[in-house]
Structure 1
Amino acid sequence: MVAKQDDKAMIRTARIEDAETVLDIQREVIKEKDYFIAVSEEFNKTVEEHQEWIKKIIEHERETMFVAEMNGKVVGWIVFLSQDRKRMEHTGSIAIMLQKDYRNKGIGKLLISEILSWASQHPVIEKVSLGTFSTNSRAIELYNKLGFVEEGRKIKEFKFSDDEYVDDVLMYKLVK
């Protein structure tokens, strides 16, 4: 995919060479404890594993990954992953991560818009799904603005402490 330049960021297709930076961003987000299911002590991916993960995405006909660059530095990424099941090949889910200093600057919107554009042009993809913590109100607001609709919740899906639970908000957007 051709890179798209915005006055805020450049969005381009991820490359295997992005693996270390993508992994670093994921580790940073996990350390924040607010937006990701895994906790730091259970996330032990290596750069080599991330290179292999990105390679598989690049080679998969119904998956893709984009990164956002600012001043030549990767500051965020989004991935679309699909199921290898005939009855689910028309759908897939997204995950997005941005470095903390680059949030609330429109970069997430650019990344999601790029994925939605890719999905709408894909000959098979019809539905883009995601899940997010019910406490992630800024993300939910953005997803709603971009046309995502809540289709359900998994109540008390995530447990943060003995008495603190968070729902998993399931959202989708039809692109065809």
Structure 2
Amino acid sequence: MSIVIREGTLNDAEVLLSIQKTVVSEGKYLIALSHEFSKTVDQQKEWIEGILQNERDTLLVAEKEGEVAGCIVFQTNSGRERTAHKGDFGLFLSPEYRGLGLGRMLLEELLDWAEKNPYIEKVCLGVFSINERAISLYKKLGFLEEGRKVREFKFGDDEYVDDILMYKWVKE
């Protein structure tokens, strides 16, 4: 199995947007619903360009057998000095590439990048409390829960999900 993790480029915009739309349409991993997610390819390119131009941000792409399978994106809120040492990540994998270890590989590569980045000290994320598989992965890689927003998301009548806030300190 040939897997490559590489930095994303503007040429990835269309396929990454397609993957994001697929994940959004599943309705169980992201805040946005399909009818709320209307990003265009041009907007995706603009978003990627902003990431590539910021030394505190990164976009990593996983390819399996030459096909783009997913990505991990790390972004800071570097407009503020007091939060410029940390950022949040999002991970997107096409359904057919899940369960192969690609998510773990992307996250390990991100953590390696963060450890080497002179500005980044803390890697953060928010995850739905029902996403047990993702939570398990994060814990295996050393992430700790630092808080929980109870009933943060409403999935339906009397159906709520907590937002679990997790982090990993990457500087000793």
Is TM > 0.5 for Structure 1 vs Structure 2? yes
Length-normalised TM-score, structure 1: 0.95
The unaligned stretches of length 5 or more in structure 2 are none
Q: Is contact 1:80-1:95 (8 Å) kept?
A: yes
Separation of aligned partners in 1, 2:2 and 2:126 = 26
Q: 1:65: which partner in 2?
A: 59
Q: Does 1:157 align with 2:147?
A: no
Shift of 1:23: 0.4
Separation of aligned partners in 2, 1:108 and 1:144 = 13
Q: Is contact 2:143-2:168 (8 Å) kept?
A: yes
Q: Does 1:37 align with 2:22?
A: no
Number of residue pairs aligned between Structure 1 and Structure 2: 170
The unaligned stretches of length 5 or more in structure 1 are 1-6
Separation of aligned partners in 2, 1:8 and 1:129 = 29
Q: 2:138: which partner in 1?
A: 143
Q: Does 1:76 align with 2:70?
A: yes
Runs ≥4 residues deviating over 6 A: none
Q: 2:128: which partner in 1?
A: 133
Q: 1:17: which partner in 2?
A: 11
Q: 1:92: which partner in 2?
A: 87
Q: Is contact 1:8-1:105 (8 Å) kept?
A: no
CA RMSD in angstroms comes to 0.7
**Which residue type is aligned with residue 14 of structure 1?**
G
Shift of 1:93: 0.5
Q: 1:26: which partner in 2?
A: 20
Q: 1:4: which partner in 2?
A: none
Q: Does 1:117 align with 2:94?
A: no
Separation of aligned partners in 1, 2:45 and 2:71 = 14
Separation of aligned partners in 2, 1:124 and 1:58 = 15
Separation of aligned partners in 2, 1:163 and 1:131 = 22
Q: Helix, strand or coil for the counterpart of 2:99? A: coil
